[in-house]
Amino acid sequence: DYVAAHLKFMAQPQFQIPIMPEDPVRGPADAPHTVVVFTDFQCPYCRLVANMLDERMNEFPGRFRVVFKHFPMNTTCNLYIKNTLHEGSCSAAVTAEAARIIGGNEAFWKMHDELFRDPGGFAKSGTEYVRQACEKLGIDNDRLWKQIKTYAIWDRIRSNAGQGSALDVKATPTLFFDGRRMTGWGDRHTWRFLVESPASKTPHTILATYPAAQTRPSSTSSPAAPTTTAAASAPAATQPATAPAM
């Protein structure tokens, strides 16, 4: 019941989750509560969570902010999982990150909403889907593709995945409300209790220690852009964070 669910939530350990300046944030900076979501643009349940978070923000305005963390369920860009579940998730992640680099936080969330609007469409026709999304959102398509092909953008996805792994994230979506893992994210009554509670005193700026990633062979090839059939190729974790030849 509700009481048991609340007690279970409060019994969860409270982590100090790193929130970096480049992390996309939706909601007021001075909100009393913070929700950190580790997610995958090709994950069906992640799409449900994205819609649910929008609904809760409208229902409880100003009470919490959402911090987005990439955790693609794809071994190409997430070295902390064993198996690939979603072929297009790395491509979608770097597309959203490229939008952020070009247009900042607002551009990221516009692309975030566009990628979650039709995940199947992106998976089937990634290149054309991105072109149309850029045209719709007013993002320079050529600049976006140049960003997608840099090693630094892939390193950022891996960094987010490392943070998630340090918090024992193994699947998506995984939500943390003020540093505590949130399992009953779909329950409206739980949300009301949490968002109306006093602000948490736990800081959210201390860097996590990442576990060792799986060892992968070095690659000299450039990361590929989103394609129509499979996930994009990423450089190995040992690659320098410099742009490959175009």
- 223 within a domain of the structure (yes/no): no
Q: How far apart are CA 87 and CA 108, in angstroms?
A: 21
Q: How far apart are CA 157 and CA 159, in angstroms?
A: 5
- 191 within a domain of the structure (yes/no): yes
Q: Element (H or E) spanning 107, and its range?
A: helix 89-117
- 83 within a domain of the structure (yes/no): yes
**What's 117's domain CATH number?**
3.40.30.10
**In this model, does residue 209 exceed pLDDT 90?**
no
Q: How far apart are CA 135 and CA 93, in angstroms?
A: 19
Q: pLDDT value at position 116?
A: 97
Q: pLDDT value at position 232?
A: 36
- 180 within a domain of the structure (yes/no): yes
- 42 within a domain of the structure (yes/no): yes
List of residues 6+ apart from 151 with CB closer than 8 A? 223, 235, 239, 240, 241, 242, 243, 244
Q: pLDDT value at position 185?
A: 79
Q: pLDDT value at position 224?
A: 52
Instruction: Give me the number of domains the chain comprises.
Output: 1
Least confident range of 99-108, 165-174, 215-224: 215-224
Structural domain harbouring 63: 2-195
- 211 within a domain of the structure (yes/no): no
**Which conformational region is residue 40 in: left (phi greater than 0), alpha (psi within -120 to 50 degrees), or beta?**
beta
pLDDT digits (tens, 9 = 90+) for 39-92: 999 999 999 999 999 999 999 999 999 999 999 999 999 999 999 999 999 999
List of residues 6+ apart from 6 with CB closer than 8 A? 190, 193
pLDDT digits (tens, 9 = 90+) for 137-172: 999 999 999 999 999 999 999 999 999 999 999 999
- 232 within a domain of the structure (yes/no): no
- 240 within a domain of the structure (yes/no): no
